[in-house]
Structure 1
Amino acid sequence: MTLPASVLSPVIAYALDERVFVGHDQTIGFGFHCLPRPGAGDRSEQHVRTLLEDEFPPGTMMQILLYASPNLVEARKRAMTHFCADAGNAPAAMMRGAVSWLYDHAGGPFDEFAGVWLRDFRVAISLKTPMDGATPTDAEIDRARQTARRMERALNALDVAPQPMTAKSWITTCSELLNRGEHASWRRFGEVHVDEETPLNRQLLDLGSRLRFESGAVDLEGGGHLAFLSPRSFGESAWFGMSSALVGDLMQGRRGLRGPFFVNVNIHYPSAESMKSRLGKKRAWTVNLVGTQFRRWMPALEGRYRDFETISRAMEDGRRPVRFSVTLGVYGRDRDELDRAVTDAIGYWGEYNTILLRDRYICRPLLINSLPLGADRRCDADLGRYHTMTTQEVACFAPLFGAWRGTGSPSLHLAARDGQVMSFDLFDGSTNFNGVIAAESGAGKSFLMQLMTTSYLAQGAMVWTIDNGGSYANLCETLGGEYIDFGERPMSLNPFRLVRDYARENALLQRLVASMAAPTQPLDDLQNATLEECMKAVWAEYGLDMTVDLIAKRLKSSKDSRDVDLGRRLYAFTSEGQYGHYFAGDNTISFSASYTVLELGGLKNQPHLQAVVLQQLVYQIQQAMAELSRQRRTLMFIDEAWELLREGEIAKFIESGYRRFRKEWGAMVIATQSLGDLYGSDVGLAIAENSATKILLGQRADVIERLVTKGQLLLDPGHIEQLKTVRSVRDAFSEAFFQTDRGTGIGRIVVDPAMRLLFSSHAPDVSAIRRHRAAGLTLDQAVDAVLAERARTAMAAE
């Protein structure tokens, strides 16, 4: 049976100035579009109760609709335009390709492991009240507007970013739920045009689209199928935030409603006095039966008695009794996929003792009552899907919660465990832009840093990577960067030729020289004071011609044996010492490329020199950042160098560097393999305290527990348990736990196969690329060749 669009909703008009909708069912209403709140807590419970317990007039219908929107048009556009449009920008081309690959897979599961679809969770909250006539009076409009203002305040307190529902947003939401075909109007521009000359309810279906109601499903002709399920009964207990668990298991990310769906909760507010009277009579009848022999033949009486006692106590505490229904709608591209979605939903909700049954013969009224502002109070009695509870219990089922959506700017485009589109940017931080990454070996640390590097280069940033293992050679070649290997050719890093303001830079320079003299133990206060005085005098006399030789000579000329000893300890870095050529003459390192990799692996047999070179590079990069005068973003990544950061003066040096980077509109990101490294040393604590962002990949549970016991890992218990579950699945995704001043959550890093192979440090991937490079192929050609080989192997195996 097919029906015209107008029968799907009573909404016929919208008054722009008053922001109210009018329906032919003699109702006036309004609504808000919201973003699901990430996580539920005690304060949010009170805010939800405030939302539900307003003094609504009898006959009021409230709807809370959570839907996994397939409308990713705006998200894709924001991600694509975030990167440079220059066709010759290799990083931008790579990032736009990765974005396209991810969003091109939004029409189905984007990974085989989790089977979850990419989507954008949204909440539509609407409320309507009866009118005395066919058109609203001024008093009814004023009452609706006052109620809307109170609801908006409650939603703002809940922190769900409410936006008033308009005719365009209402039609767009309904269109996303009803028009699922490949050429649906919302897929082109992300919203639907409104014809002001036509009643709103006649604009819900695209031209040429029809709905056919069948047994147990709605055929969205050309757009798949829709089925409805309703709870037959709920478990004996419920908790606030349970609605989030019914959508998906964010703790493990393996169970839940993985495909397209919506959950709609309708709340009917009858007369409070009549409800209390009815409930009182039913409770008295139940109490009487429980005390008789009927108890033997009616086991359900015990449960019914407990329910009435619970409701009675809640009413005594001031909770309002209401009637509410829950409807779950699931989609399938064909009937087989639809039936699997139904089976999965029944099984998953059953894990929470909620028994779902598929609705077969009332699909049409359930669809009408699920669209925003479509709830009909007459269906309370007609459909048999409503339950009596107080607002205290209804709050547990209000679908207002979801996964963390990220920081806002899509420098990294990720997916939450439930498929929510997620974005992240270091520069969204409100206190500083620094970060630290901690991950066990093989958890994807270098992969993530290469992805971040590519993304920021694609935005026009200037990036430096200091590495100690050769992981960035391929990326540097692909992006046309400059690769400087300190083990291959002689070079000078003389820091004094770079000084622009000695008074401002003397602290860093002093710590650099102190590291030359004291590789493992910091200098004491007297030694630091002596070195500071000496360097100040040498600078005053020689300026940019200042050298380590001159500092050592002045110290050794002192009559104090302690000064002489300090000067002798600088010998290795003077022109006569084994490291002197690195710090004499003109500085030969220049940063002209947008991307520079500074490889320290060639100095691994000279750890003292390696540590000093690292500090000098940090200082020189800071100087380069200052020259840009905030004209462009600048970032420095340090990977595989934690052993060099742990001891001596370098700890103070890095701490100073972290604090200075914000002033230059720059970001400093250091990677380590263990959270224990981060919180187990002075330099680690300094880095953690000066990093607004912490990105934690796979970590051992015992390390996490030890840090929690020591009070060093400041996360709530729920996030602690989430952190223990962070994992990577090869050839599918890597998970990362983001702790930022914009929120906390887990994101899945998903990229196209070519980028995944290029960034991989997995031995078979690295050797496969090397084999093709040895045959004369370029890096891009080698990556394509490996992918083609593996595709042929996979096809042969099938």
Structure 2
Amino acid sequence: MEVTMSRLLVTNKSFELLEPYEGKLSRTVLRGESSRKGADLLDIDQYLNEAHSFGLQSVRAHFNVLAWSDDVQELRHIRNDVGSQLALMECRPRHNTVDAATLYWAGMPGNAGDFPAEESFYTFIEPAVCFFTEETNYKSSSSPFGIKLCDRVSGRPLHLDISDEPMKKGIITNRNKFVLGGSGSGKSFFMNHLVRQYWEQGTHVVLVDTGNSYQGLCELIRRKTKGEDGVYFTYTEEHPISFNPFYTDDYYFDVEKKDSIKTLLLTLWKTEDDKITKTESGELGSAVNAYIERIRADRNIVPCFDSFYEYLRDDYRRELEEREIRVSREDFNIDNMLITLRQYYKGGRYDFLLNSRANIDLLSKRFVVFEVDSIKENKELFPVVTIIIMEAFINKMRRLKGVRKQLIVEEAWKALSTANMAEYLRYMYKTVRKYYGEAIVVTQEVEDIISSPVVKEAIINNSDCKILLDQRKFMNRFDAIQSLLGLTDKEKAQILSINQSNDPSRKYKEVWIGLGGVQSAVYATEVSVPEYLAYTTEETEKVEVQRLAGELGGDMELAIRQLAEGKR
């Protein structure tokens, strides 16, 4: 084991594969070698017996750490630090200053022929190659699908598959992802980078956002597809968020679709504390099914909540009264339900919510963003919106065969504030892998992760891919995060090294990606200036892009190009 000291620690490694020796010849060769180095003959016999018993392949290996410094005190500290770390690995370091130049030269590719043979030692392949695993040994994935990242040290572009290839190799058992990063860590920037590349490779993306982090990207996609894709739902007083859960392009309503409509209506009718009886659930399900059959038979009826309410008020209530076996008011109080749902019918307070005339079937839209920040505290609107979001994704999940689907929930605890949403997420994380899909929860509040049983039990345990960004804000509480996520000490060290020694000549932020507790590394998210302007969540930069786009007739892509040219 050679150790030479340096400021920049670079590990050089090499070994020579040997043909197996037989019988007396092997002992003669090794004993001749050992007598020159003073090795113990008993150790040699043990080595040869183990090689013969287990059929192990012998190699001649050499490992060294090269370092340098102009300061004598610094050099002494480096030598002591490196020596103590090697000792912890049960290696005996030898400080070598005589052959340092030769070892440095021989470590360059193509110069192995000049390596001094006396500086190597015999060992087996297994212990020899264990020194070849290092964090900066990045390799692009062989899969055609993936995202573009960079080597954190050299900046070399990398193609990384964190979904398909790890599944095929058995490293992970699902494609779900859990993303954690503090405010300003580059979390939303990285997610913009990820979803854009997934969308470009054919993925159907459904986003639940708080903070307009994806507004710029959604607008670019809408313009690129000439309005065919890039749907952005948000709530303002002038343009309140609006849906039509009863509309489909082809009038196809499977069991999941019917159940989601029934769940939506029960949520509108009952409070979280009210118990729903089997009769109430069954009768409402029957009403939904009968209404669907009616709009299929009569295409002149406009499918929406208004026409459903009228059917429920007139025809279905009359049908209940004419039944041979009457349903009592205690079992199913249809009048009470009609009074409660009246505010969603035309003329009511929320008549806009379920009667959208846009007739957008989200099944065919590949990039859909639901911005819920302005209604997350509204106890009447938010539960309805979250159920519709989940229903839209489940509809995609079950009906789009062989198509990759992705559901992303930003700031998880806000979306998990309702029982219905929590149950949907539990269901989603456990079943989405069967439908070529993946669910991603993104959050920045570590306390909510630790305290939420939904996140802990349903999401983290069913997310084999974990993505962490700069954790310096959580340094004092990271032990709790490490325990919760099941991170090893090596993974912890990798994560806490994020953004600690970035190259000042490059503009990038680092991200740690761990796959199934088997593979992990820190990568750099480094993009072009136009991409940066499209992804940025910095308010001043977003306003500048939007202002210039307004001057250019709403052309955000042209605005980004002009600003990027100016920055160059």
Q: TM-score, normalised by structure 1?
A: 0.51
What SS does the corresponding residue of 1:705 show, helix, strand or coil? helix
What SS does the corresponding residue of 1:264 show, helix, strand or coil? strand
Deviation at 1:616, TM superposition (A): 0.4
Instruction: Map Cα deviations across residues 305-357 of structure 1 (whole Å, 9 max, x no partner).
Output: xx869957975984799894537799xxxxxxx999xx999997885236465
Q: What corresponds to 1:666 in structure 2?
A: 437
Structure 1 residues 551 and 319: CA distance shift in structure 2, 3 A: farther
Structure 1 residues 348 and 424: CA distance shift in structure 2, 3 A: farther
What SS does the corresponding residue of 2:202 show, helix, strand or coil? coil
Deviation at 1:604, TM superposition (A): 4.6
Instruction: Map Cα deviations across residues 93-134 of structure 1 (whole Å, 9 max, x no partner).
Output: xxxxxxxxxxxxxxxxxxxxxxxxxxxxxxxxxxxxxxxxxx
Which of 688, 693, 706 is the matching residue for 2:465? 693
Which of 455, 462, 465 is the matching residue for 2:204? 462
What SS does the corresponding residue of 1:596 show, helix, strand or coil? strand
Q: What corresponds to 1:581 in structure 2?
A: 352
CA contact (8 A) 1:349 1:356 kept: no
**Count of aligned positions:** 496
Q: What corresponds to 2:298 in structure 1?
A: none
Which of 602, 609, 618 is the matching residue for 2:390? 618
Q: What corresponds to 1:597 in structure 2?
A: 369
Distance 1:462 1:559 in 2: 45
Deviation at 1:417, TM superposition (A): 4.1
Distance 2:102 2:459 in 1: 62
What SS does the corresponding residue of 2:523 show, helix, strand or coil? strand
Distance 1:512 1:391 in 2: 65
Structure 1 residues 416 and 585: CA distance shift in structure 2, 3 A: closer
Which of 692, 699, 721 is the matching residue for 2:493? 721
- 1:190-201 equivalent positions in 2, closer than 5 A: none
What SS does the corresponding residue of 2:512 show, helix, strand or coil? strand
| Contiguous gaps of at least 5 residues in structure 1 | 1-230, 236-245, 247-253, 287-306, 331-337, 792-798
What SS does the corresponding residue of 1:581 show, helix, strand or coil? coil
Distance 2:166 2:35 in 1: 58
Percent identical among aligned pairs is: 18
What SS does the corresponding residue of 1:606 show, helix, strand or coil? coil
- 1:248-267 equivalent positions in 2, closer than 5 A: 256-257=9-10, 263-266=13-16
What SS does the corresponding residue of 1:582 show, helix, strand or coil? coil
Distance 1:368 1:429 in 2: 31
Q: What corresponds to 2:278 in structure 1?
A: 529
CA contact (8 A) 1:443 1:727 kept: no
Pair 1:760 & 2:514 matched:
no
Pair 1:646 & 2:417 matched:
yes
Paired residue type of 1:539:
V
CA contact (8 A) 2:146 2:161 kept: yes
Deviation at 1:435, TM superposition (A): 2.7
CA contact (8 A) 1:769 1:779 kept: yes
Distance 1:626 1:648 in 2: 23
Pair 1:273 & 2:5 matched:
no
Q: What corresponds to 2:133 in structure 1?
A: 401
- 1:277-316 equivalent positions in 2, closer than 5 A: 277=31, 315=47
Deviation at 1:482, TM superposition (A): 3.6
Q: What corresponds to 1:424 in structure 2?
A: 161
CA contact (8 A) 2:174 2:433 kept: yes
Instruction: Map Cα deviations across residues 664-705 of structure 1 (whole Å, 9 max, x no partner).
Output: 433333322235434533432323344443322234234442
CA contact (8 A) 1:697 1:726 kept: yes
Which of 326, 330, 344 is the matching residue for 1:560? 330
Structure 1 residues 402 and 576: CA distance shift in structure 2, 3 A: same
Structure 1 residues 585 and 537: CA distance shift in structure 2, 3 A: farther
Q: What corresponds to 2:86 in structure 1?
A: none
Distance 1:255 1:517 in 2: 67
Structure 1 residues 502 and 589: CA distance shift in structure 2, 3 A: same
Distance 2:336 2:44 in 1: 81
Instruction: Kindly indicate which of the two structures has a greater share of residues assigned to strand.
Output: 1
Q: What corresponds to 2:252 in structure 1?
A: 500
Q: What corresponds to 1:444 in structure 2?
A: 186
Distance 1:665 1:440 in 2: 30
Distance 2:532 2:282 in 1: 53
Which of 740, 743, 764 is the matching residue for 2:519? 743
Paired residue type of 1:532:
S
Q: TM-score, normalised by structure 2?
A: 0.69
Deviation at 1:784, TM superposition (A): 4.2
| Contiguous gaps of at least 5 residues in structure 2 | 84-92, 168-172, 224-229, 296-302, 322-326
Distance 2:407 2:469 in 1: 20
What SS does the corresponding residue of 1:500 show, helix, strand or coil? coil
Distance 1:511 1:771 in 2: 43
